[in-house]
């Protein structure tokens, strides 16, 4: 995947100063003068949306009685774990689920193993060409997207880079950033389109200052789990800025923490860490059925039709870190992400500031 060196991208067009460390504050303030209070106001509104579900609820329980026939959902990473269970339950309730996996075979096997209408798609989040191709195939179907679940992700035990950028940031954030932007027209066209970002409480492990925009290569990110935390903070900030840009439409976006779930996301960690997770995890981790509950709740529940810009855990609103509520950081991340992936975005799909 060709990616320009980070610093040349950040200073392109004169938008950035000192290797991308300064945003054009005048441009930001012009677009967000009153919205700067949004995280405070929005968070209060989020707290009012309380459900009867909890950490023991399952995806089937939170969707019981819902009829999703006629709706189309796209879920990334359906070949295992939370993504598979999300696909299974949404299809069980009648939705047509477009399920992505890294290979055609994995997607086909997963989709064929569940009841209901499903369509497998190939999506490799580390390769923006693959992301664009996947989105183009969906656009060619001519369907509205009622639910877009950005679920797939990865954890690495040591520094890896893709095109000079830290791998968590590319796979967990930028890949989904391209996918969401290329499919926004389909989401907005739906009667009430929803984007669900699967984040994590691990966003709190990001550095105290938040996203380290001056080191997107990730060389300083592997202290105290900060690398994975960076990408999960990015998921939340992506949703926050997308909330603002969707104002005036019927579409919504929210971020969820599924909990610590018994999945294979730790497959890239050293074997001793995987063994420790399996050994001690049984005392505190959720089952996959429980782990997919919050995603399915936020993706489908009628009570959330007008709820956007919130953070959910255990199928209820939760309080994210102050960084995840930082409107200026969210705006800056969007600008940086847009510059890094511009060759893979559709100009007509870029939402106005």
Catalytic residue ranges: 228
* 148, containing H or E segment: strand 147-150
User: Helix 38-47 crosses helix 226-245 at what angle (to 10 degrees)?
Assistant: 90
For residue 246 the two structure tokens come to: 């969707």
Residue 129 CB partners (closer than 8 Å, separation 6+) = 1, 344
- Nearest to 107, CA basis, from 129, 126, 132, 134: 134
CB 126 within 8 A of CB 175: yes
Largest interatomic CA distance in the chain: 55
> Which run of H or of E encompasses 334?
helix 327-341
Rounded to an integer, what distance in angstroms lies between the CA atom of residue 132 and that of residue 33?
33
Place of tokens 């202290």: 223
Assigned token pair, 225: 């789990």
CB atoms within 10 A of CB 212: 18
CA 316 vs CA 93, 114, 148, 286, 309: distances in Å: 21, 28, 20, 16, 14
């Amino acid at each position: 995947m060709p990616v320009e060196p980070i610093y040349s991208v950040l200073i392109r067009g004169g938008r950035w100063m000192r290797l991308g460390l300064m945003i054009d504050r005048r441009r930001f303030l012009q677009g967000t003068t009153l919205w700067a209070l949004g995280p405070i106001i929005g968070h209060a509104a989020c707290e009012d949306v309380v459900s009867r579900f909890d950490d023991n609820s399952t995806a089937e329980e939170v969707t019981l009685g819902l009829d999703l026939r006629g709706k189309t959902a796209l879920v990334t990473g359906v070949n295992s774990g939370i993504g598979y269970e999300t696909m299974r339950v949404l299809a069980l309730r009648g939705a047509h689920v477009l399920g992505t996996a890294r290979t055609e075979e994995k997607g086909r096997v997963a989709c064929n193993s569940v009841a209901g209408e499903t369509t497998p798609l190939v999506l490799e989040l580390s390769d923006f060409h693959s992301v664009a191709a996947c989105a183009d195939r969906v656009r060619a179907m001519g369907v509205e997207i009622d639910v877009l679940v950005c679920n797939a992700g990865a954890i690495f035990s040591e520094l890896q880079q893709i095109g000079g950028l830290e791998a968590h940031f590319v796979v967990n954030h930028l890949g989904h950033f391209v996918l969401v932007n290329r499919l926004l027209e389909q989401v907005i066209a739906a009667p009430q389109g929803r984007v669900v970002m699967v984040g994590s409480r691990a966003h709190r492990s990001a550095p105290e200052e938040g996203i380290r925009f001056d080191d997107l290569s990730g060389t300083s990110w592997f202290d105290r789990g900060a690398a994975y935390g960076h990408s999960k903070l990015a998921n939340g900030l992506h949703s926050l800025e997308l909330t603002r840009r969707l104002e005036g439409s019927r579409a919504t976006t929210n971020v969820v923490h599924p909990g610590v779930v018994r999945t294979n996301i730790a497959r890239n960690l050293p074997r001793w860490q995987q063994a420790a997770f399996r050994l001690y995890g049984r005392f505190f981790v959720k089952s996959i059925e429980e782990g997919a509950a919050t995603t399915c709740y936020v993706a489908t529940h009628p009570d959330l039709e007008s709820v956007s810009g919130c953070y959910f855990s255990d199928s209820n609103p939760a309080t994210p870190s102050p960084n995840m509520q930082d409107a200026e950081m969210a705006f800056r991340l969007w600008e940086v992400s847009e510059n890094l992936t511009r060759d893979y975005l559709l100009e007509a799909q870029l939402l106005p500031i």
